[in-house]
Structure 1
Amino acid sequence: MTATTAPLSFSGHSLDEATLLRLYEQLLRPRLIEEKMLKQLRGGVISKWFSGIGQEAISVGCTLALQPDEFVFTMHRNLGVFTSREVPLDRLFAQWQGKPGGFTKGRDRSFHFGSREYHIVGMISHLGPQLALAAGVALWHKMQGEPKVSLAFTGDGGTSEGDFHEALNIAAVWKLPVIFVIENNGYGLSTPVSEQYACDSLADRGVGYGMRSLSIDGNNVVEVFDTVRQLAAELRAHPEPVLIECRTFRVRGHEEASGVKYVPTELIEAWQDRDPVVRFAAYLHETGVLTAEFEATLTASIKSEIEAALARAADLPDVAADPDMELSDLYAAVPGLQTLPGEIRELRFIDAISDGLREAMRAYPDLVLMGQDIAEYGGVFKITEGFVEEFGIDRVRNTPLCESGVVGAALGYGIAGGKAMVEMQFGDFVSCGFNQIVNNLAKLHYRWGQNADVVIRLPVGGGVGAGPFHSQTMESWFTSVAGLKIVYPSTPEDAKSLLLAALADPNPVLYFEHKGLYRSLSGPVPQGFTPGELGKARIVKEGEALTILTYGAGVHWAMETVASLNHDIEIIDLRTLAPLDYAAIRQSVAKTSRVLVLHEASLTGGFGGELAAWIGEHCFELLDAPVRRLASLDTPVPFAAALEQQYLPKGRLEEAVLALLGY
Structure 2
Amino acid sequence: MLSNNTKAQAVEYKETHLSNDTLLDLYRSMLKPRMIEEKMLILLRQGKISKWFSGIGQEAISVGVTKSLTTDEYILPMHRNLGVFTSRDIPLNRLFSQWQGKASGFTKGRDRSFHFGTQEYKIVGMISHLGPQLGVADGIALAHKLKNEQKVTAVFSGEGGTSEGDFHEALNIASVWDLPVLFCIENNGYGLSTPTLEQYRCKDLADRGVGYGMESHIIDGNNILDVYTKISELAESIRQQPRPVLVEFKTFRMRGHEEASGTKYVPQELMDEWQQKDPLINFEQYLFEKNILTEDLQLQFRTEILTEIEENLKIAFAEEPIQSNSTNELNDVFEKFVYEDFKFSENTQNIRFIDAISEALRSSVEKHENLVLMGQDIADYGGVFKITEGFAEEFGKDRIRNTPICESAIVGAAMGLSINGMKAMVEMQFSDFVTSGFNPIVNYLAKVKYRWDQNADVVIRMPCGGGVGAGPFHSQTNEAWFTKVPGLKVIYPAFPYDAKGLLNTAFNDPNPVLFFEHKGLYRSIRQEVPVDYYTIPFGKAARIKEGGEVSIITYGAGVNWALEILEDMKYHNADLIDLRSLQPLDLDALCESVTKTGKCIILTEDSQFGSFASEIAAQISENCFESLDAPVMRVGSMDTPIPFAENLEKQYLPQDRFRAKLKYLIEY
Q: TM-score, normalised by structure 1?
A: 0.99
**Partner residue in 1 for 2:494:** 490
C-alpha distance in structure 2 between counterparts of 1:555 and 1:349, whole Å: 14
The reply on whether 1:295 has 2:295 as its aligned counterpart is: no
The reply on whether 1:367 has 2:371 as its aligned counterpart is: yes
The reply on whether 1:583 has 2:567 as its aligned counterpart is: no
Secondary structure at 2:565 match in 1: helix
The reply on whether 1:416 has 2:420 as its aligned counterpart is: yes
Secondary structure at 1:547 match in 2: strand
Ranges in structure 2 where 5+ consecutive residues have no aligned partner? 1-7
Out of 553, 558, 575, the residue aligned to residue 557 of structure 2 is: 553
**Partner residue in 2 for 1:620:** 625
Out of 168, 184, 205, the residue aligned to residue 171 of structure 2 is: 168
**Partner residue in 1 for 2:40:** 37
The reply on whether 1:603 has 2:608 as its aligned counterpart is: yes
Out of 490, 509, 516, the residue aligned to residue 513 of structure 2 is: 509
Stretch deviating more after TM superposition (653-662 or 396-405): 653-662
**Partner residue in 2 for 1:139:** 142
Secondary structure at 1:130 match in 2: helix
Contact 2:9 2:285 in 1 (8 A): no
Out of 515, 537, 540, the residue aligned to residue 536 of structure 1 is: 540
Contact 2:341 2:536 in 1 (8 A): no
**Partner residue in 2 for 1:318:** 321
Secondary structure at 1:529 match in 2: coil
Contact 1:403 1:432 in 2 (8 A): yes
C-alpha distance in structure 1 between counterparts of 2:664 and 2:50, whole Å: 57
Q: CA deviation at 1:587?
A: 0.7
1:511-561 Cα offsets, whole Å, 9 max, x none, are 000000000000011122212111111111111101111000000011111
Runs of 4+ deviating beyond 6 Å: none
C-alpha distance in structure 1 between counterparts of 2:19 and 2:662, whole Å: 83
Q: CA deviation at 1:335?
A: 3.7
Aligned ranges 1:108-127 → 2 under 5 Å? 108-127=111-130
Aligned ranges 1:108-507 → 2 under 5 Å? 108-342=111-345, 343-507=347-511
1:478-526 Cα offsets, whole Å, 9 max, x none, are 1111100000000101111100111111100000000000000000111
Q: TM-score, normalised by structure 2?
A: 0.98
C-alpha distance in structure 2 between counterparts of 1:48 and 1:135, whole Å: 30
Contact 1:545 1:567 in 2 (8 A): no
The reply on whether 1:96 has 2:116 as its aligned counterpart is: no
C-alpha distance in structure 2 between counterparts of 1:467 and 1:580, whole Å: 30
The reply on whether 1:633 has 2:638 as its aligned counterpart is: yes
C-alpha distance in structure 2 between counterparts of 1:237 and 1:556, whole Å: 56
The letter of the residue matching 1:575 is R
Q: CA deviation at 1:658?
A: 1.1
Secondary structure at 2:582 match in 1: strand
Ranges in structure 1 where 5+ consecutive residues have no aligned partner? none
C-alpha distance in structure 1 between counterparts of 2:488 and 2:68, whole Å: 37
The letter of the residue matching 1:69 is D
Q: Could you say if the C-alpha distance between residues 363 and 63 of structure 1 is closer, same or farther in structure 2, counting changes exceeding 3 Å?
A: same
1:582-640 Cα offsets, whole Å, 9 max, x none, are 11111111111111010001011111111111111121111111111000000001000
Contact 1:547 1:569 in 2 (8 A): yes
Q: CA deviation at 1:6?
A: 8.4
C-alpha distance in structure 2 between counterparts of 1:50 and 1:6, whole Å: 27
Secondary structure at 2:532 match in 1: strand
**Partner residue in 1 for 2:3:** none
The letter of the residue matching 1:122 is G
Q: CA deviation at 1:18?
A: 0.8
C-alpha distance in structure 2 between counterparts of 1:617 and 1:40, whole Å: 48
Contact 2:339 2:537 in 1 (8 A): no
The letter of the residue matching 1:278 is I
Q: CA RMSD in A?
A: 1.0
C-alpha distance in structure 2 between counterparts of 1:109 and 1:117, whole Å: 19
Contact 2:51 2:113 in 1 (8 A): yes
Out of 84, 88, 106, the residue aligned to residue 85 of structure 1 is: 88
**Partner residue in 2 for 1:649:** 654
Q: CA deviation at 1:143?
A: 0.6
The letter of the residue matching 1:564 is D
Secondary structure at 1:341 match in 2: coil
Identity of aligned residues (%): 59
Q: CA deviation at 1:63?
A: 0.4
Q: CA deviation at 1:263?
A: 0.4
Secondary structure at 1:394 match in 2: coil
